[in-house]
Amino acid sequence: MATVRADGKRRVVVPGVRPGDVFDVQRLGEERYVLVRLHRPAPLPRVSREACLEAMSRSPLKVTLSWDQLKQLTREP
């Protein structure tokens, strides 16, 4: 059993954990807390450049104005 102390920002360093570990904090009374380690989610695969360009081409948010029309709408006279 290890003793830890909270710092000024209410952080506690727990021995044996790695950065990115996720815990469920359960309060079991006025002075008792239980940390339950949750399973680390699997990292999402990176999106390829081709897949990104394909998603942008299928997007309903497309610019239909020419640059000149856009300038007229956004510039003050």
Question: Are the C-beta atoms of residues 4 and 13 closer than 8 Å to each other?
Answer: yes
pLDDT tens per residue across span 50-74: 999 999 889 888 778 899 998 888 9
* pTM across the whole model: 0.44
In angstroms, what CA-CA distances link 56 with 33, 35, 42, 46, 67? Answer: 47, 42, 26, 16, 19
Tell me what pLDDT residue 43 has: 84
Question: Are the C-beta atoms of residues 51 and 44 closer than 8 Å to each other?
Answer: no
